[in-house]
């Protein structure tokens, strides 16, 4: 493990311990009240979810055209994290929506594209798991298509009624709301980096073990 891993893990743990206090002390939003606080978990996990998808897509492209197995391991690790953070996003979203919109789910552009992005990453993992030998290239191709989809679903936003809060909300937040949000976002980002590093390391060791077995056979 790199030197920065343990200190960063400690920082991340402390941040996750402190962030509920910050969230609890943040003022109530005037119209939504208590339920708005879920936003401090929903938004950071959604950001990390998208970040993971981008990491997976870029690493897949580099693997496909350069053939570097390290990029492939990175893509796999990122895809697993996309599934995890996607679940957090897709569970916290409806919890808030039930209170704010009165329904659990809407076939809104933002929701549909998130769900599809999440499904592509699940399909990616299924392919890695059950595809057998040679599936890593197929998975890389899938990840590329998955990444290409995202902007297109956003285009149809104009022709679709959307009720999801827009991205313009974040920069205009007052400090009392912004501080816990950014604190929580950094904590999630650290968690993502740590988990990614740990997962890549597991794959690296697996690869080393495989080469050891092969050299022992020879």
Partner 1 sequence: MFTRIVWLVLRKDLMVEIRSLEIAYTTIFFAVSCVLVFAFALVQEGRAPTDGAAGILWIAIAFSGTLALGRTFERERQAETLKALLLAPAARPAIYVGKLLGIIGLMAVTEIVLVPLVSLFFQAPFFTRPLWLAAVLLSGTIGFAAVGTLFAAMLVRARTRDVLLPVLLYPITVPVIIAGVRATAALLQPDLDAGIIQFWVALLVCFDVVFVTLALWTFEPVMTD
Site residues, partner 1 (CB under 8 A): 64-65, 112, 116, 119-120, 123, 126-127, 130-135, 137-138, 140-142, 144-146, 148-149, 152-153, 155-156, 159
Closest approach, Cβ 139 to partner 1, in A, equals 9
Q: Which is nearer to partner 1, 155 or 218 (CB)?
A: 155
Do the Cβ atoms of 195 and 81 come closer than 8 Å? yes
Whichever of 119 and 173 has its CB closer to partner 1, that residue is 119
Instruction: Provide, rounded to whole angstroms, the least separation between the CB of residue 85 and partner 1.
Output: 17
Q: Torsion over CA of 209, 210, 213 and 215, rounded to 10 degrees?
A: -110
For the CB of residue 79, give the shortest distance to partner 1 in the complex, in Å: 13
- Measured CA to CA, the distance from residue 155 to residue 54 in angstroms comes to 18
Closest to partner 1 by CB, 17 vs 148, is 148
Nearer to partner 1, 106 or 135 (CB): 135
> Given the complex with partner 1, which of 74 and 140 has the nearer CB atom?
140
Residue bearing tokens 């392919």: 127
39-66 vs 109-130: helix axis angle to the nearest 10? 50
Q: State the Cα–Cα distance between residues 46 and 96, nearest whole angstrom.
A: 14
Closest CA to 165 of 74, 215, 96, 218: 96
**Minimum distance from CB of 149 to partner 1 (Å)?**
6
User: What is the gyration radius of the CA atoms in the chain, in angstroms?
Assistant: 20
Query: Least distance from C-beta 105 to partner 1, angstroms?
Result: 16
């Amino acid at each position: 493990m790199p030197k920065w891993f343990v200190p960063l893990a400690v920082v991340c743990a402390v941040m996750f311990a402190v962030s509920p206090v910050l969230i609890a002390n943040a003022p109530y939003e005037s119209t939504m009240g208590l339920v708005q606080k879920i936003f401090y978990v929903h938004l950071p996990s959604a950001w990390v979810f998208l970040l993971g998808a981008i990491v997976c897509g870029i690493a897949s492209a580099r693997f496909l055209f350069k053939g570097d197995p390290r990029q492939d391991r990175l893509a796999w690790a990122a895809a697993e994290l996309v599934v995890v953070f996607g679940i957090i996003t897709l569970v916290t979203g409806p919890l808030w929506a039930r209170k704010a919109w009165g329904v659990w789910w809407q076939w809104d552009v933002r929701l549909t594209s998130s769900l599809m992005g999440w499904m592509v990453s699940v399909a990616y993992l299924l392919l890695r798991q059950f595809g057998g030998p040679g599936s890593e290239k197929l998975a890389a191709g899938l990840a590329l298509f998955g990444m290409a989809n995202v902007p297109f679903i956003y285009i149809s936003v104009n022709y679709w009624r959307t009720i999801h809060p827009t991205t313009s909300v974040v920069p205009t937040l007052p400090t009392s709301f912004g501080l816990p949000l950014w604190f929580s976002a950094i904590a999630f980002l650290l968690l993502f980096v740590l988990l990614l590093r740990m997962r890549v390391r597991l794959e690296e060791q697996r690869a080393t073990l495989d080469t050891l077995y092969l050299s022992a056979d020879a």
